[in-house]
Amino acid sequence: MTNTQVTLVQIDNYGPWTVTPEPRREADLQTLQSRLYADISQFVGNRDGYTFFTRFDNMVAVTNGLDLEDHALLQESVGNRYPVTLSLGVATGTSPVQALADATELVQEAGSAQDKNRRECLEGRVVEDAHQADDDIQIAHFDVVDATGNYTDELNAFDTFIEIEQGYAELMRHMRYAHDSLSFFVGGDNIIVVCPDLGEAEYEEAIHHVQEAVDVELQVGVGRGKSAHDAGFAAKHALETCRADGTRVELEW
Which residue among 161, 200, 204, 253 contacts a second copy (CB under 8 A)?
161
As measured in angstroms, the least distance from the Cβ of 81 to a second copy is: 5
Give the residue among 123, 118, 124, 126 at the shortest CA–CA distance from 11: 118
As measured in angstroms, the least distance from the Cβ of 212 to a second copy is: 17
Strand (E) or helix (H) holding 28: helix 26-45
Q: Does 2 bind a second copy (CB under 8 A)?
A: no
Q: Does 64 bind a second copy (CB under 8 A)?
A: no
Query: What whole-number distance in Å separates Cα of residue 94 and Cα of residue 69?
Result: 23
Q: Does 119 bind a second copy (CB under 8 A)?
A: no
The neighbouring-strand residues paired with 70 are none
Which residue among 114, 116, 197, 208 contacts a second copy (CB under 8 A)?
114
The neighbouring-strand residues paired with 112 are none
Which residue among 5, 12, 44, 218 contacts a second copy (CB under 8 A)?
44
Query: What whole-number distance in Å separates Cα of residue 30 and Cα of residue 124?
Result: 30
Which residue among 66, 88, 103, 242 contacts a second copy (CB under 8 A)?
103
Angle, vertex CA 240, rays to CA 207 and CA 167, nearest 5: 30
Q: Does 29 bind a second copy (CB under 8 A)?
A: yes
Which residue among 72, 116, 125, 148 contacts a second copy (CB under 8 A)?
148
Query: What whole-number distance in Å separates Cα of residue 186 and Cα of residue 189?
Result: 8
